[in-house]
Amino acid sequence: MTTSHPVGEEELAELRKRYRQERERRVRPDGTGQYRGAEAEFGYYAADPYADGVPDRDPLRDTVDVAVVGGGFGGILAGARLRQQGVRRVRVVETGGGFGGTWYWNRYPGVHCDIESHVYLPLLDETGYVPEWKYSPGEEIRRHAVRVAEQFDLGADALFSTTVTSLSWDETAEEWLVTTDRDDAFRARYVITATGTLSEPKLPAIPGVEKFAGHTFHTSRWDYGYTGGGPDGGMTKLAGKRVGVVGTGATGVQAIPKLAEDAGHVLVFQRTPSSVDVRGNRRTDARDVGADHDGWARERRENFLRVVSGEPVEEDLVADGWTASAGLLEKLLPSFRREGDRETFEAAYEAADAAKMNELRARVADSVTDPATAEKLQPWYRYACKRPAFSDVYYPAFNRENVTLVDTADTHGIERLTEDGVVVGDTTYPLDCLIFATGFSVGVSGVLSGKLPVRGRGGVSLLDAWGRQGPRTLHGFTGHGFPNLLQMGSLQNASSVNYTHILDEQALHAAALVAAAEAADAVLEPSRETEDAWLAEIREGAPDHEWFHAECTPGYYNREGGGRANVAAYPHGAVAFHALLRQWRTDSLDQVLTPRAAAGAR
């Protein structure tokens, strides 16, 4: 059991120095260029191991009310909320072979939700489902995604194993033409994009990947055919095998203990250790979570959002590692900075952060018997530099004789692969199997990267319309020149750690916009002036991240050490943003409605 003690100025100065050294040891000149996507000759890393073949079907040429791009929780929630608004023909198009998005793809052993399931799983009030664990296994979450899709009858019109390849606005018909990689070319009055933020697996762009003679795959495409077993373990085919894992982020932390149970030997190639806090997962029943009245889940979810956003609550209902450390994670929100000047706030923040990180470093020392291994597992950066992880089985796994930690910080990660295995420094580590727990490209899916080309009024491409000034939207959803196109995701709105809550509020908003446009026989499109006003609002009061990220080790939070991603967000947090959206729907929704020119043509 570890407790934190107050941290004095001398210790803080030492920590600052150490954090800077650790950052410098890791920053690479190639930044985000150190990675490659799982595409082209590496496309096999992204192939779907879970789909039971690709169903044969004829290309579609019909018309629907709404096309939803993406069948993860974003797309499912959009579909559900549209149904509640009475929209009939909703077609979800999804690359995977079924609903679930990240929970469809991520089935690695040990996969769990690391947010409390009673606030993470959406539409619990509507489905009557009460999760069985405080932190659900991935399969329970995937099944819930399917449950919601079934309840709202989204399956019949859905297209699986299908990727949308373009969206083009037909000015005359005032409809979108949607094409796919299955030769579909169907029409939709509205399009909602819900393509996810961390959905495309990435790999280190190191030499020799193609030479490695052993087996290899990415954690989000787990090859149970090779390992045997399933997400609960039982990977009997790994007995006697030497298995390497690259990456110790939230995924690696969950998968490594399960691999350690079943593989002959596990070699963990670590570059930056995660901070790993207490998990305390347990079975729950309805009484534990207050599931005894209508609306219990909505109340709990709202309570969690308020706590992690620094808004006052009478009681912290979830009371876990996220709510306890909310002030360290969301420190940039004004709600956490109400008192004192900036200097006072930053000093208090730094001291609290140091105390927390000391506690987490002590947890490693308490859990890992070999002092040299324990030292390598200790995180030397501020709490919010990397996504915190939670596990009660990760550190003990390193006490097993069949687990070896290979630190790769000094070589900036694994350097190359040979036919036999992984090279780090002067050593080659022979392996039968190498598993990449190396995460996902950020912001490359959907319209943001141009991978899904969008042409609006006058055939103008969305990325050209945005130009060098970057994205322009109203509230992150709609854009001038792109009528009836609604984007879900983290662009120019507000986010939070419980991302399904964010998506549900977005889905409610998108569905309300579609319903209003239908009722008014209008198209949805903000004026340039409305967009300008929103951009000004989110830029004004945008927090200064520099002081914080300057000392952070590289990772996807700070574009591999290069600074914060250049996508402005609403600066007052998700609670305030949701209130703003509700108010706007009451007062100002009319400003994005224009009578349909083609109204008479239907």
List of residues contacting ligand NDP (CB under 6 A): 26, 112-115, 198, 204, 246-252, 254, 269, 271-272, 387, 408, 413-414, 437-440, 555-556
Choice between 114 and 302, CB closer to ligand NDP: 114
β-strands 389-390, 276-277 pairing:
parallel
Choice between 22 and 525, CB closer to ligand NDP: 22
In whole angstroms, how close is the CB of 197 to ligand NDP at the nearest point? 9
β-strands 440-441, 454-455 pairing:
unpaired
In whole angstroms, how close is the CB of 3 to ligand NDP at the nearest point? 27
Nearest to 436 by CA among 35, 24, 9: 35
In whole angstroms, how close is the CB of 45 to ligand NDP at the nearest point? 13
Choice between 111 and 191, CB closer to ligand NDP: 111
Choice between 112 and 475, CB closer to ligand NDP: 112
Choice between 114 and 157, CB closer to ligand NDP: 114
Choice between 30 and 170, CB closer to ligand NDP: 30
User: Is-contact 487 477, C-beta < 8 A?
Assistant: yes
In whole angstroms, how close is the CB of 272 to ligand NDP at the nearest point? 3
User: Is-contact 309 496, C-beta < 8 A?
Assistant: yes
Distance of CA 585 to the CA centre of its chain: 27
Choice between 254 and 325, CB closer to ligand NDP: 254
Choice between 107 and 271, CB closer to ligand NDP: 271
Choice between 413 and 489, CB closer to ligand NDP: 413
Residues 321, 392: Cα–Cα separation, whole Å: 13
Contacts of residue 347, defined as CB under 8 A and 6 or more positions apart, other chains included, come to none
In whole angstroms, how close is the CB of 247 to ligand NDP at the nearest point? 3
In whole angstroms, how close is the CB of 210 to ligand NDP at the nearest point? 16
Choice between 318 and 437, CB closer to ligand NDP: 437
In the numeric block, which tokens belong to residue 469? 């000034």
DSSP state of 599: G
In whole angstroms, how close is the CB of 331 to ligand NDP at the nearest point? 18
Phi, psi angles (nearest 5°) of residue 93? -115, 125
In whole angstroms, how close is the CB of 88 to ligand NDP at the nearest point? 34
User: Is-contact 42 209, C-beta < 8 A?
Assistant: yes
In whole angstroms, how close is the CB of 281 to ligand NDP at the nearest point? 11
Contacts of residue 544, defined as CB under 8 A and 6 or more positions apart, other chains included, come to none
Choice between 412 and 585, CB closer to ligand NDP: 412
In whole angstroms, how close is the CB of 142 to ligand NDP at the nearest point? 13
Residues 96, 239: Cα–Cα separation, whole Å: 30
Residues 326, 213: Cα–Cα separation, whole Å: 45
Extended beta strands in 241-386, E state: 242-246, 265-270, 276-277
Phi, psi angles (nearest 5°) of residue 242? -95, 115
In whole angstroms, how close is the CB of 518 to ligand NDP at the nearest point? 35
What does each C-alpha distance from 358 to 15, 253, 315, 368, 583 come to in angstroms? Answer: 10, 20, 27, 16, 43
Choice between 176 and 556, CB closer to ligand NDP: 556
In whole angstroms, how close is the CB of 108 to ligand NDP at the nearest point? 9
Longest C-alpha distance within the chain, in Å? 77
Q: Which long-range contacts (CB under 8 A, 24 or more apart) does 18-24 make?
A: 18/380, 19/380, 19/381, 19/382, 19/551, 19/553, 20/551, 22/380, 22/381, 22/409, 22/553, 23/381, 23/551, 23/552, 23/553, 23/554, 23/561
Nearest to 422 by CA among 238, 584, 266, 253: 266
What does each C-alpha distance from 127 to 147, 151, 191 come to in angstroms? Answer: 8, 8, 26
Residues 546, 559: Cα–Cα separation, whole Å: 13
Calculate ∠ Cα 566-570-576, nearest 5°: 160
Using CA atoms of 331, 505, 112, 442 in order, give the dihedral in degrees to the nearest 10: -70
Choice between 204 and 489, CB closer to ligand NDP: 204
In whole angstroms, how close is the CB of 425 to ligand NDP at the nearest point? 12
Residue 72 exposed, middle or buried by CB count within 10 Å (0-12, 13-18, 19+): buried
β-strands 175-180, 164-170 pairing:
antiparallel
CB atoms within 10 A of CB 401: 6
Choice between 422 and 592, CB closer to ligand NDP: 422
Choice between 250 and 485, CB closer to ligand NDP: 250
In whole angstroms, how close is the CB of 55 to ligand NDP at the nearest point? 29
At 597, which amino acid appears? A
In whole angstroms, how close is the CB of 562 to ligand NDP at the nearest point? 13
